Structure formats: structure tokens, C-alpha cells
Amino acid sequence: MKFLKKIFNLDEDSKIKKILKEVFNVIEYNVEFSDFDKYNGNKRMNLKYDDDDVNVLVGKNGKNIMALELLVNIILKKRLDTATKIMLDVNDYRKKKDMFLKDIAIKAGEEVLKTKKKVYLKPMNSYERKVVHKTLQNVKHVNTKSIGKGKLKKIVVYYSHES
């Protein structure tokens, strides 16, 4: 509780950063914190981590950093009573992943426009699907739809005369 009393005199970004530092101290990862920036409409904190086990921090397909992000956002909601959600990134992993996903989406859209046949993308989590849907939402004659059940769903990119 002493920790919480110390942070209430700070602005929101400083409070969030202080909580992040405490979380990373507990899990014993020595990361360098950047300033917050806006990315895809989210408040993003890019963490610099120069260690050989950066893949452990990020996890397969970003699973660990997303789990850590969820935990941090729960702590922020409970401790600071804020609706602010933050996106955690490590060494710009998610930014690079987004560029990769956008490239896949664009290639699928081009294929659909060329062949007018459906293109099925590999199963993706909700965040990844959102990136693909947003990338193609304004492309004329190209639509997207998530299919399947569970957390990992496929996206079908298809031709539409109406869009």
C-alpha cells in the first residue's frame, strides 16, 4: 500500500509508468521504458530489452507480452480506477508484426481482386484479425470475415460486387 500512496501525486502517465516498473521488478526483467506514444488508437509503451531471452518475454506469437499487457491493464483499472488501456511492445515486436500482417492482408486482397476467389488466412488471435480487417476495410470489392470458433479464427478474404 505504501507504493500506491507514493504514486497518487503523479499525472496518469507517470503513475502507469511507475506501476509498470514495479511489475517488471517483480518478474525480474530489466527493461528500459520509453515515453508513451499513440499507435493504432492505443496508448503504447515500447520497452527496450537487450537480453538473449527477449523471446521468452515476448513469447510465441507475442503471447507472453499480450498476457503481461492484460495483467497490467487489470492492475491499472483496479489501482488507478482508470479506463485507460495500454499496449505493451518489446523492441517494436508488435509494430513489426503489424507491418507483416498488413502485408499479408494486402497480398490477399490483391489476389482476390485478380482471381475473384476466396483467400483463407491462417488462424489468428483477435488483435491480429483486427489489423487485417482494418487494413482491407476500404479496399473496393474486397471484404473480410472471421470464421471458426474459439480464440484463434481464420479470416476469409473474398470478392464482393457491392463494396
The answer to whether residues 94 and 87 touch, using CB atoms and an 8 Å cutoff, is yes
| C-alpha to C-alpha distances, 125 to 25, 45, 92, 128, 130, nearest whole angstrom | 29, 21, 19, 5, 9
Same domain for 21 and 82?
A: yes
pLDDT value at residue 134: 96
- What is the domain-level CATH number for residue 14? 3.30.300.20
Question: 15 and 74: one domain?
Answer: yes
The answer to whether residues 104 and 123 belong to one domain is yes
Per-residue pLDDT of 87-124, as tens digits, reads 999 999 999 999 999 999 999 999 999 999 999 999 99
pLDDT attached to residue 5: 47
